[in-house]
Structure 1
């Protein structure tokens, strides 16, 4: 059995996910690079290994039951357990997303990856997480998922563009995070949601003002919480985000 701390990061072949994998790998952890694109996954693993990270590729399409089940078997065969799961894979569903004109297909696409994908992967990995002495689950959300922030201002400059698929999917992810924390409150599994901030990635056409490395910092912090750390929380670099 691998004695290193074992992490799996979904959507880890680029952007924030890659930097989360790199950051955890820099701690000496063994990091599974979850990604559906074979070439991008292989390139990311090679780049991480070149930097000294104990990285391994995990073929993973979070929207596909068989793919997720196969990923769980791969992690089990390699390490026998999982210490940290970072649910990072996410999509917008396609823009624009004015609620009066958004296609239901866009909403379904966002929910399938951003919510159902998290449920699918988390539930497949839970048996492996239960074998860990200090398991952590980090769900990569967004500040636009905060109903408090969204309702405090109708000005898009304050709360981001109209997104009747993406923003609600992150709000639902936050709700799912709380439900997991409640179910697992009597275990040692800590479950939290993280907001990376407005990071320049292909998700937003690289319009963000933060680097992927900066966006990864909050996830790395939540992945390395002490045993008495919070669970069922929603965090950004500056601290707690109101739900």
Structure 2
């Protein structure tokens, strides 16, 4: 049975992704900063008849929880097949490139960039023990420099997220470099935008969470012929899914 760790998986898109991967037969570690909330999620999934799931305490900004989570997975599974870096924050909005203070940049980058790097580096060794390791970094189309600078792009004038967008652009660059360094191996590393989705992140506006989950699961389960080092947003490009960085 393949195993997957999903950060920030006790609610929203992370939770939906966990549910879908459980149904796909993977053993899912529900990464949750609040372990009690993670356990509540596990009980919910157990009630649906699935046992291949476990809550694990994981705060992407806390190295001690990362080390402890790694130890648990290493002892129980011996390796990790899929890592989904889903945990993220938007920060207070609106965000202005002219006025938003550096403290808010630090807060958002701590989770969306440094957290992704810390988690990835912590679990890279376990992923290397998998025959088909996959890393999905959950991103957003507003992190695309090409789209965000295009006046013809529909959300062009909806520029409320200077901090959040910058953090996701930085995470995207990390994805590019990671995929490059892992080229020629069995790894597949991609950035995936799940789309504008009805969760507390968006004040419950947008598309269905089930569709968002499917978009992430698709790239978590790609075979050896699948892409790596790419940026996908099926909401922005329904034909091929790929969008420019």
Q: By the TM > 0.5 criterion, same fold?
A: yes
Structure 1's consecutive aligned runs of 4 or more residues displaced over 6 angstroms after TM superposition are: none
User: Is the CA contact 1:146–1:242 (under 8 Å) kept in the aligned structure 2?
Assistant: yes
Give 1:155 deviation, angstroms: 7.9
1:79 aligns with: 77
Give 1:158 deviation, angstroms: 3.6
2:242 aligns with: 240
Over 3 Å counting, the alpha-carbon distance change for 1:204 and 1:122 in structure 2 is same
1:113 to 111, 119, 137: 111
Give ranges in structure 2 of 5+ residues lacking alignment: none
| Secondary structure at 1:152 match in 2 | coil
User: Is the CA contact 2:147–2:244 (under 8 Å) kept in the aligned structure 1?
Assistant: yes
Give ranges in structure 1 of 5+ residues lacking alignment: none
Q: Distance in 2 between matches of 1:157 and 1:81?
A: 41
Q: Distance in 1 between matches of 2:118 and 2:170?
A: 15
User: Is the CA contact 1:93–1:166 (under 8 Å) kept in the aligned structure 2?
Assistant: yes
Over 3 Å counting, the alpha-carbon distance change for 1:136 and 1:158 in structure 2 is same
Coordinate RMSD, CA, aligned? 1.4
Give 1:161 deviation, angstroms: 3.2
Give 1:162 deviation, angstroms: 2.1
Q: How does 1:1-243 map to 2 (within 5 A)?
A: 4-53=1-50, 54-153=52-151, 157-158=155-156, 160-207=158-205, 209-237=206-234, 238=238, 239-243=241-245
User: Is the CA contact 1:144–1:160 (under 8 Å) kept in the aligned structure 2?
Assistant: no
TM-score norm. by structure 1 comes to 0.95
Over 3 Å counting, the alpha-carbon distance change for 1:121 and 1:159 in structure 2 is farther
Q: Distance in 1 between matches of 2:244 and 2:157?
A: 13
Q: Distance in 1 between matches of 2:58 and 2:49?
A: 23
Q: Distance in 1 between matches of 2:116 and 2:158?
A: 23
| Secondary structure at 2:162 match in 1 | coil
